[in-house]
Amino acid sequence: MSKLLTHYGLIALKNIWKYRVSAAISILGLAFALICLVPILYWMDHELSYDSAYPDVESIYRIYSVEKSTGKTNTGASMAIQTSVCQENPAIEASTLLFITPENCRTDQIPYVQINMLYTDSTFLNVFPQEIICGNPMPLQAINNIVLTESMATRLFGEPAEAIGKHLQTLMAPKWAPYVVTAVVKDPNKHTNLPFDAIINHDMIQGLNRGPAEMQWQYFMTDLYVRLHPDTDPTTFVEKIRDIPERVGVNKELELRAMPIRDIRHHLKGDAPFTLDFIGLFVASGVLLLLAALFNFLNSYMDLFRQRAREWRLRLVNGATRRQLITQVAVELVCAVVAALLVTLIFIVQMKPLFIDWLDIDMDYAKILTFFAGMGLLTLALILLIGLPLFAHMNRQMTSTLAENASARSPLSRRMAVALQLMVSIIFIVAATVVMLQLRYLGNKDVGFDREDLLLVEGFVDVRGNVESAIIQELSKNPSVVGLTDTDFKPQHEMNPVAIIKNIEWEGKPQGQEIPIYFHATDYRFGDTFGLRYLAGGWWREGEQQRIVINESMARLMGKENPVGEVIRMPNLRDYSQTAEYVIAGVVNDFHTLSFRQPIHPTAFIDAGGFVNKLYVRTAPGQAEEVARQIRALLPKIDPTLADVKVTPVGTLYDDLNQSETIGLRIFSFLALACLLIALFGIYAAASAATKRRRREIAIRKVVGAGTKSILLLFIREYACLVAIASLIAFPIAYLIMADWLSGYAYRIEIALWWFAIILVGIATLVLITIWRQVIKAANENPAEVVKCE
C-alpha cells in the first residue's frame, strides 16, 4: 500500500508540474486566504482570552453600577458596595477592592523608579492567586507589605531572592513609612486587565472609602472583583445583586451589575482600540475569503481532472478500480493542499513582524502554529469531503456513453466561483475605500482649536506641585514657549464617568430634569494656551475659583443668549457633600474632547484648585519638535523622577483615537488585494479552461467568417456579465455594511454613488486585462489545425 501511495504521490507531483499554471493559481489562491485568516483568528482569540491565566477565571466577576435614569455606567465601587454584595450572596468565595496607577519610588541604590502599582489589601490573592517565586506565602498581611514581580525585583535588586525584606520608599510623601518587600511573584500575563509591577497592601484603599456607608454609595473610585463558587449560576447571581441598592435603601436609581473579567476589555473599558464587532467583521471577512478560495481551488482541480478524462478511461480499461482512482485523486488533492500550507507557513513566519506591528500584540510562535495546523487540517478535510464525491460523480459521467457531452458541458460552478470571488473583492474594495476616505476626513477635520505646535507633558505624579511648579518656571524662560496650562483634559474615546455631573441647577432649568454635564478641571491659562474662541465673556483670572467657563453646546442647552454672569448650583467638586455656586465667566467655541465617534457634549471648565499633572505647552510656530527635545533634556535635571515623563504632540493624541480605523484600513486593503488576486487567478484559470474547451467552437466561428474582434467580444460579454452580476449583489451589501459602520461616528462622510462606478470600471478593466491574452491566442489559432486535433 505504501508503494502505491508513493507512486500516486509521484504522479501528483508530475501533474502539478504538467499543469503548473492552473495548479499554481489554485495553490496560491488557497495560501493567500489562509495567510489572511490565521492571524485574524489568532487576534480574535487574543482579545477573548484576557486574564485566562487565572484559575477558574469563569468565576471571577467585576461589580459595577448603572444609573437607571441616564444609563451612566460607574465602573468603580466602594467598600460599602462590597460589604452589601457579599452579605447578600453567600456564593461569593472572595472579594477584593483595588486600583492601579503609577507611583514613583526609590531604593537605597536606585534614586528613582516608576512602578505600576496595584493598590489593594490582603484579600487580593484570594481572588487573583499568584505564583510566588520566593518569600512569604501570605505576603500581604500588613499595611505597606509589597509584592514585586520577577522582572521588577530583578531590576531593583539583581535577583528575586535578594528583594525579600528590602525597602522601597515612596516619593509621593518622603515622610511616609517605607514599603517592605515580602514576596516575589511571576510577571502577569501581558494581555490582562490588571497589569502591574507590584502589589501593595496600602491604607489608601481605606482612605478612599472613609465616611458613612450611605455616602460611600456615591463613591466609585476603586474596582470591585468577586470570585464565585464554581457551582454558582451566573445569571441568578447577576439578577440577585441588581436591586441591592434599592433593598438597602441607599439609592433607588442605582442598579448593580456583574461582568466576567474576560469581557471587561471590550464591554466596560472605553480605551480598547478595537471592539469585538470590529474584530468579528474581520473574522467573517477572512472566512468568506477562505470559502471563495476553496470554491476556486475545487473548481480549478475539477477542471484539471475533467481535462484528464482520457487518462481516467484508459486506467479503467486497464484494470484500475474506481476506488483506486479516487485514492489517486485524494493524494493529488492532499499534495496540492500541503503545497498551499507550506506557502502559507513561509508567509506567516516572514510576515509575523508586520502582523505584530499592525495589531499591536505579541504573537507566540507555538500558538500561531497551532492555529495554522488547525486551519490546515480543516481546509484539507473540507477539500476531501467535497472534492472526492465531486470527482466520483464526474468520473462516472466521463466514463459513460455521454462522456463527450458531459465533458463539454458548460461549467456553471466555475462561473459561480468567479462571480462569488468578484463579489467578495468588491465588498472589500468598497470597505477599504470608505475607511480611507473617513480617515482622511477625520485627519483634516477641525477639532476646534489649533492642535499644531501643542505638546502634552504627562506621566509624573506630583501631589504637592513642587516639581510641576519648577517645570513651569523653567519652561517660562524658553522664548519658544508661548503658553502653558495644567488640566485634566486629554483626548480619549469616552468621557471619564467621574467627570460627569447630573445634579446641576440654573435659573430656568426644567424642574426634575437630570442633564449630564461634562467637567474638566483646568487652570486660568487653558483658553489662551489652546487658542479657543470666546463667544461671550472670557476665561477666569488667577484665584477666581468660583467662576467657570462653558462651551456653546451647554449655552444652547441652558437656552440663554448670553449666559455670562448666570449662576450654576452643583456639588462642590472638592467636597461632594456640599453644594456650591459658580458664576459663568465666559462661553467658548465647541471643540472635540473625545473621539469623532462621540458628539460634542455640554461641557464646563472649572478651576482645578491645584496641579493635576497634565501640562500642555504651546510653542512658537514650527518649534514643537525642538521644544519637545529640550523638555526631555530638561526634566531629569529638575528631578530624577521625571525620566519617564512622556512628551506627546496633541495631534498624535487625536491620531491615536483613530488607531482602529488606521489598522482597519491596512487589513481591509490587504484582504481586498488578496481576494482580488484570488478572483483574478480564478478568472485566468476559467478563461484558460474555457478557451481550451471551446477551441472547436472558435475554429468553426472563424471558418464561417467570424473575426478576432467578434470572438474577443464574445468572451468579454461573458465576463462582463459576471462582473455585472457580482456588482449588483456586492454594491448593496457593501453599502449597507459601511453605512452601518459610519453610523458609529457622530461626524462622518457620506457614501457617494460615483465611487461605485469607479470601482466597477476598475474591476472590469482588470478582468479584461486578465483574459485578453488567452482569448487573443485562441482566436488567432489556425482553424484547420484545431479541427484536425479535435
Are both 485 and 575 inside the same structural domain?
A: yes
Amino acid at 412: L
**Burial of residue 406, with CB atoms counted within 10 A of its CB: 0-12 exposed, 13-18 middle, 19 or more buried:** middle
Provide the 10 A C-beta neighbour count for residue 405.
Answer: 10
Residue 508 predicted with pLDDT over 50: yes
Range with the poorest average pLDDT among 103-112, 509-518, 646-655: 509-518
Contacts with 612 (C-beta within 8 Å, 6 or more apart), sequence order? 486, 487, 488, 521
Written as nine digits, the cell of 196 is: 502591574
Spatial CA neighbour of 51 closest among 228, 189, 198: 189
Are both 646 and 665 inside the same structural domain?
A: no
Residue positions counted in the chain: 790
Query: Considering the domain boundaries, does residue 264 fall inside one?
Result: no
Instruction: Report the percentage of the chain scoring pLDDT > 70.
Output: 92
Query: Considering the domain boundaries, does residue 293 fall inside one?
Result: yes
Residue 526 predicted with pLDDT over 80: yes
pLDDT at residue 782 in the model: 64
Are both 222 and 288 inside the same structural domain?
A: no
Query: Considering the domain boundaries, does residue 768 fall inside one?
Result: yes
Cα–Cα distance measured from residue 458 to residue 454, given in angstroms and rounded to the nearest whole number: 13
Segment of 223-227, 418-422, 555-559, 645-649 carrying the highest mean pLDDT: 223-227
Range with the poorest average pLDDT among 59-73, 125-139, 353-367, 408-422: 408-422
Q: In what order do the strands lie in the sheet with 454-458?
A: 481-486, 614-619, 454-458, 646-649
How many Cα atoms sit within 13 Å of 158 on the Cβ side?
3
Residue 80 predicted with pLDDT over 60: yes
pLDDT at residue 123 in the model: 92
Are both 611 and 758 inside the same structural domain?
A: no
Cα–Cα distance measured from residue 618 to residue 607, given in angstroms and rounded to the nearest whole number: 20
- 603-607 and 534-537 beta bridge pairing: unpaired
Query: Considering the domain boundaries, does residue 779 fall inside one?
Result: yes
Provide the 10 A C-beta neighbour count for residue 686.
Answer: 26
DSSP code for 76: -
Are both 671 and 737 inside the same structural domain?
A: yes
Contacts with 191 (C-beta within 8 Å, 6 or more apart), sequence order? 46, 49, 50, 361
- 603-607 and 517-522 beta bridge pairing: parallel
How many Cα atoms sit within 13 Å of 380 on the Cβ side?
18
Q: Which domain holds residue 466?
A: 454-656
DSSP code for 164: T
Which residue is listed with cell 468577586? 226
Higher pLDDT, 146 or 516: 146
Check if the beta carbon of residue 492 is closer than 8 Å to that of residue 270: yes
pLDDT at residue 308 in the model: 80
Cα–Cα distance measured from residue 687 to residue 675, given in angstroms and rounded to the nearest whole number: 18
pLDDT at residue 164 in the model: 94
Are both 600 and 619 inside the same structural domain?
A: yes
Q: In total, how many domains does the chain have?
A: 3
Cα-Cα-Cα-Cα dihedral of 360, 361, 364, 368, to 10°?
-80
Are both 283 and 236 inside the same structural domain?
A: no
User: What average pLDDT does range 173-191 have in this prediction?
Assistant: 89
Spatial CA neighbour of 536 closest among 517, 520, 552, 553: 552
Higher pLDDT, 779 or 140: 140
Query: Considering the domain boundaries, does residue 458 fall inside one?
Result: yes
Contacts with 607 (C-beta within 8 Å, 6 or more apart), sequence order? 521, 522, 523, 524, 540, 544, 545, 547, 548
Which residue is listed with cell 440577585? 240
Cα–Cα distance measured from residue 517 to residue 568, given in angstroms and rounded to the nearest whole number: 12
pLDDT at residue 403 in the model: 45
- Among 607, 628, 656, where does a domain finish? 656
- Among 629, 656, 683, where does a domain finish? 656
User: What average pLDDT does range 137-166 have in this prediction?
Assistant: 93
Exposure b/e, 445-454, CB count within 10 A at least 16 = b: eebbbebebb
What is the tens place of the pLDDT at every residue in 756-787? 999 999 888 888 888 787 777 777 766 666 55
- Among 221, 252, 283, where does a domain finish? 252
Amino acid at 141: Q
pLDDT at residue 418 in the model: 75
Quick one: pLDDT band at residue 401, thresholds 50, 70, 90? very low
Are both 415 and 496 inside the same structural domain?
A: no
Are both 436 and 458 inside the same structural domain?
A: no
Quick one: pLDDT band at residue 132, thresholds 50, 70, 90? very high
Query: Considering the domain boundaries, does residue 398 fall inside one?
Result: yes
Residue 119 predicted with pLDDT over 90: yes
Are both 319 and 386 inside the same structural domain?
A: yes
What is the tens place of the pLDDT at every residue in 220-267? 888 999 999 988 999 999 999 998 888 887 777 789 999 999 888 877
Provide the 10 A C-beta neighbour count for residue 639.
Answer: 20
Are both 646 and 756 inside the same structural domain?
A: no
Check if the beta carbon of residue 158 is closer than 8 Å to that of residue 114: no
pLDDT at residue 410 in the model: 47
Which residue is listed with cell 531593583? 156
Check if the beta carbon of residue 604 is closer than 8 Å to that of residue 554: yes
Cα-Cα-Cα-Cα dihedral of 459, 462, 466, 469, to 10°?
40
pLDDT at residue 404 in the model: 46
Quick one: pLDDT band at residue 51, thresholds 50, 70, 90? confident
pLDDT at residue 413 in the model: 64
Query: Considering the domain boundaries, does residue 1 fall inside one?
Result: no
What is the tens place of the pLDDT at every residue in 318-341? 888 888 888 888 889 999 999 999
Q: Tell me the pLDDT of the chain averaged across its residues.
A: 84
Which residue is listed with cell 518622603? 174
Cα–Cα distance measured from residue 237 to residue 60, given in angstroms and rounded to the nearest whole number: 12
User: What average pLDDT does range 455-464 have in this prediction?
Assistant: 80
User: What average pLDDT does range 295-315 have in this prediction?
Assistant: 81
Are both 412 and 296 inside the same structural domain?
A: yes
pLDDT at residue 486 in the model: 92
pLDDT at residue 256 in the model: 92
User: What average pLDDT does range 492-510 have in this prediction?
Assistant: 79
What is the tens place of the pLDDT at every residue in 549-578? 999 999 998 888 889 999 998 887 666 667
Query: Considering the domain boundaries, does residue 63 fall inside one?
Result: no
pLDDT at residue 407 in the model: 44
pLDDT at residue 412 in the model: 67
Range with the poorest average pLDDT among 124-128, 476-480, 670-674: 670-674
Residue 271 predicted with pLDDT over 60: no
Residue 405 predicted with pLDDT over 50: no
CA 557 to chain CA centroid, nearest Å: 35
